[in-house]
Amino acid sequence: MDRSKSLVGIVVLAIVAVYLTVFVCTAEVADLQSSSSAAGSVAACNGVSLADWCVIAIAVVAVAVSITEASVARRHARLSVRPSLNIASDVSKGLIELENAGLGPAVITRMQVGTSELPLQDASAETWDLVIDLLDLGAVDRTWLPPRTIIASSSRVVLLSIGEWTTSKGEAVASRLRISVSYESLYGESWDAKYGAE
């Protein structure tokens, strides 16, 4: 859709450029014809022929086409490697997982964990243990992702493995756990993936 709009814009630009060129040149030729000093200059506009003006207009349009195509190519390149991280729970397995559902790798820039009572803090063994104690989850496995960690496309990382998903644990995780993962694409574009209510 974006490419079609760009091509339509180029076509319109070409038509306008050629029209203005012909209009200006025709007007100048008319002025020259009406002047006694312009005899024999019907096919020229201040020394530049109509054909020359058309060549200039075509060259300008060609440059516009090249610039537009380069912009479209850059956008396509970005989209082709754009990551998309999602944090979701798998109740059947008792897991909180981070999944990259995008087309390209995600570069982690920051991971934070917290609860509804504890503001988000940079993830580490200590902060995870504090969160686990506050949620009264008992013995669980947890993972944190340091900056520059790369999550490949279509891959998953288990952030929290609760084991048996009891009603009390499920309610604690669903209503009180907070996780935030900031990440970038290979082009430096940034996003955040979040788990839990704000």
Write the DSSP string, 49-108. EHHHHHHHHHHHHHHHHHHHHHHHHHHHHHHHT---EEEEEETTTTEEEEEE-SSS-EEE
pLDDT for residue 117 is more than 90? yes
Every domain range in the chain assigned CATH 2.60.40: 85-195
Question: By the 8 A CB rule, do 120 and 130 touch?
Answer: no
Options 1.50.10, 2.60.40, 3.30.1360, 1.10.3470; which CATH number does 85-195 get? Answer: 2.60.40
Q: What is the pLDDT of residue 43?
A: 47
pLDDT at 52 over 90: no
pLDDT at residue 39, as a whole number: 47
pLDDT above 60 (res 6): no
pTM of the model: 0.65
